[in-house]
Amino acid sequence: MTTFLQIVARDVRLAFRQGGATMLVVVFFVLAVALFPLGVGPETAVLRRIAPGVIWVAALLAAMLSLDRLFQVDFEDGSLDQLALAPLPLELVAAAKCLAHWLSTGLPLVVISPLLGVLLELNGEAHAALLLAMAAGTPALSLVGGIGAALTVSIRRGGVLLSLLVLPLYIPVLIFGTGAIDAAAMGLEGGAHLLVLAALLAAALPLAPWAIAGALRLNLE
């Protein structure tokens, strides 16, 4: 457990030190959402209707900005080989790196999302659903994105291929995350959508590290 936490702490520190990855993600998220009121106009009804989809699409794209560096740096400097030979199973190493990715990119998106909800005229009920949906959905984005990052770790400038691999897998999170906020905004019960998001996260937690470890072993051979 100590080694697991050390890997998480190391990756979080690197994310803040190397090029301001966290700030880049937050700035992109804010700018992407802020452009929509300028493009579609200030009408409250229009903004409130498109808000869930706009916030989630921007979150998906923002979460992908740092995915290509999830394993790339460690692969290039040989650290990944050392981690693969360490006593800690590679599945737990993968889980630790995905957790660090969420802490440095996903968690800031969760924190900033209510402010963007205010910008897009979401009502009070929708804000609670937004927070819950983002809290359940963004960890799944990091886990699923880690699979794509592991598959493309040995490919130089594999960002485009990574996007093509990961974006289709993000669609269920996008659908149910948007649905939960939409339902709350219309005064309906959005609990079913949140439960599906939680189920997706529960499935990704054990399966994604196993898939990531297999892809990393394949690239390290």
Q: Exposure of 115 by Cβ count < 10 A (0-12 exposed, 13-18 middle, 19+ buried)?
A: exposed
Q: Report whether 102 contacts 138 (CB < 8 A).
A: yes
CA distances 33 to 86, 109, 112, 119, Å, are 42, 12, 11, 9
Averaged pLDDT for residues 52-59 = 92
Q: What is the pLDDT of residues 189-221, one digit of tens each?
A: 778 999 999 999 999 999 999 999 988 888 777
Q: What is the pLDDT of residues 65-117, one digit of tens each?
A: 878 778 887 787 777 888 878 788 889 989 999 999 999 888 999 999 989 98
Measure the CA–CA gap between 160 and 157, rounded to whole angstroms.
8
Domain assignments of the chain as residue spans, ordered by start? 2-220
Residue 20 scores a pLDDT above 80: no
Q: Which residue has the higher pLDDT, 177 or 16?
A: 177
Q: What is the pLDDT of residues 117-147, one digit of tens each?
A: 888 888 877 888 999 999 999 999 999 999 9
Give the confidence band of 157 by pLDDT, cuts at 50, 70, 90.
low
Please count the other Cβ atoms lying within 10 Å of the Cβ belonging to residue 125: 16
Q: What is the 3-state secondary structure (H, E, C) of 140-185?
A: HHHHHHHHHHHHCCCCCCCHHHHHHHHHHHHHHHHHHHHHHHHHHH
